[in-house]
Chains A and B, each alone.
Chain A
Amino acid sequence: MSDRLTILSPTGHLGFTPIERGSFEIGVARRPDAIVADSGSCDIGPQPLGADERCSPEEWQRHDLELMLLAARGLGVPMIVGSASDTGTDRGVNEYAEIIRDLARQHGLAPFKLATIYSQVSREELARRLENGVHVDGLDGRPRLTTETLARTARLVAVMGVPIIRALDEGADVVIAGRSSDSCLFAAPAIRAGFPEAASYYLGKVLECASFAAEPFMGKESIMGTVTRDTVSVTAMHPGQRCTVASVASHAMYERANPFFEHVAGGALDMTHCRYEQVDEQTARVSGFAFRRDPVYRIKLEGAGKVGERALAIAGIRDPYTIRHIDAVMAWARSKVEDRWGPPGQQYQLYYHVYGRDGVMGPWEPRRALPAHELCLVVEAVAPRFEDAEVICALATRNLFYARLPEVKGTAGTAALMMDEVLRGKAGYEWTVNHVLPLADPLELITVKLEVAGG
């Protein structure tokens, strides 16, 4: 076994916006042992998973995959991509695999082994387990999963751990994986090469978002991680960025409720006693991490279900008197909707987003009593049928125009309509499943396929 392994991380979300080429090429010139990127996140909301759609243009996904594929094949090192096409469903894995096959043909690449790893879970499979008395516990305060919640779920993925090791064992040169823990993508080749789990998962944790672990703030720049038995060093590849003690330590807590533990399938990385030191201007080194294995192997499940079709409209308010009475204006418009459709609930949902007052923060806005001199109202209506959402949205918007205020001077209309038009939004979805499922075998819900591409 070699005493160190290096991994190049070019992006925190493949395809979300294109990878920056300069720092990537600097990284490739340093000949890493693997090139790894995550392509998905639950940050993008439940719609892409629920509707099984990508959230980024295929052209950008292809751009990033092409850069990584050509560099990895040129160096003869593994390329690993997880949470394919934003959601990591089977559709995403198949689409990415097809892009890889296509790029291999287009560039006349010599034959290589392409692994695809699937982790989508069918509703029937999960229903069977629930019927057999399996406890699927909720995360972050959610109750245990019920058949009713499952029935509201359109699609589910299991967030896999390190089955990538299995694919690498079988000689995979390129791995396209379904939904994965970000850190596991990077940990897998390190664990397979014999490095301890603690160091391997820390390597994954620090590399998963690429340049977000460096300073100053820049997106889509490459960073490089080096793992030894008991340390992880991380180096910024962009000449203007540095990985510092502060930037790396603060990244440990990024996007997580607790800065000390990173939970992955089968256990947790414990960062309580991590030590950070500056090695050179662009590199920080970390040690002191530990890995705590769970007594029962559990895998995270993500699921999204459809709430309804969505219609949107936009209105502006400039009259200071109307702005002072904006709640009364919205109450009037709501009442006109309720006259015809009844109170919101099962049949429809209606939201006014008041930009210029509390459009971003809602009830968390401490300054909502100090609205701006002009307000933008985005009216959002959701109903089972788009035709109904459209009508409700139009009614809720036009009545902003007709609101009856006792002392209004501008009697020709109490709102500026950007256009007298209702827009069709993507359907409304919600996260129905954020739970953990116990498994007897980590590979139970995972399928690994291998093929030869190129040549």
Chain B
Amino acid sequence: MAGEGVPAAATAATASAAGGTLLACPDCDLLQRLPPLPLHHAACCARCRAPLCRHKPDSLERTLALALAAAILLLIANLVPMLGLSVAGREAFTTVLGGVIAMWREGSQVVAMLVLFAAVIAPALEIGCLLLVVLAVRRPPAPHWVATLLHGYEFVREWSMIEIMLLGVLVALIKIAELATVIPGLALFVLGSLVFLLAAMAAAFDPRVAWQRIEWAAGGAAGGAEAMR
């Protein structure tokens, strides 16, 4: 949090002597050498200012602890009621899955699947992949299937939308409030904590540390491509 952006190429001259990592900016392709980062510092691209990496102390241990906590919260959030409605003496409760089932029954199966994926499956995969990756790389070299998981984690992170769902629930709640009494359920508060936990988990995880501990795929024999250090 307290880190300042250090342009990577500003210190390139000293870094290449000290053997910094060579990297290409994902946003502008600028080739640059990244010096070993001081504690709590972050590096950004010298040309386009894209965040390149951040020094994250004890990344694997902290990610493991946060991912375990997030897994437990996600389980609770999907088991207990999220929203209740009381009107004319009738009460109705729904969970996250209840929303998906209602959408499915009312004829919007495609939307139901999308909500299921973004609100339940993607967050579960996000936490699950990261848990397995962090556990597997504890004893390097980790087998190559860990690379597939890590790739899957990066993909699924964008489609995991718990924070957006929570805002959606809030809007739905206010829309309904004029028609009936709305009762917030326990899951609402669990999901609120999960949003922060997921953000902390993603912030604690340093993919560079994990990649360094994963077995290489082809050993350089793949179509003449060779790694540069």
Asked if A pairs with B, the answer is no
